[in-house]
Amino acid sequence: MYNTTPGKLYGPFNLRPENYREYEFGPEGERIVYRIDNPVSLFYRRNGTTHRVVDAKLVTHVVPAPGYHGCVIRWEQYGDPEY
């Protein structure tokens, strides 16, 4: 299947200061948490419904964008918050 999402791909955005990133999504009562340890880079398309996150092992994770399927994001950052 080909990617038919219109728009420019943005990224990579540096996620290295994060220890982990969690995406919580799904219907009420059936919500799941998807955790990505050691995220490195983020890619997205404007008005796209997903994000691509690459971790330190070079695994690409495709997750719902914030707001899609009720998705919320949490992360833990280490070191200087201005990094």
Verify cis geometry, omega within 30 degrees of 0, for the bond prior to 12: yes
CB 17 within 8 A of CB 60: no
What are the boundaries of each domain within the chain? 9-77
pTM above 0.85, yes or no: no
Residue 27 pLDDT exceeds 80 = yes
Confidence of residue 13 (pLDDT cuts 50, 70, 90): very high
3-state secondary structure 27-48: CCCCCEEEEEECEEEEEEECCC
The whole-angstrom separation of Cα 13 and Cα 54 is 10
3-state secondary structure of 68: helix
Each residue's pLDDT tens digit, 36-80: 999 999 999 888 899 999 999 999 999 998 888 889 999 998 766
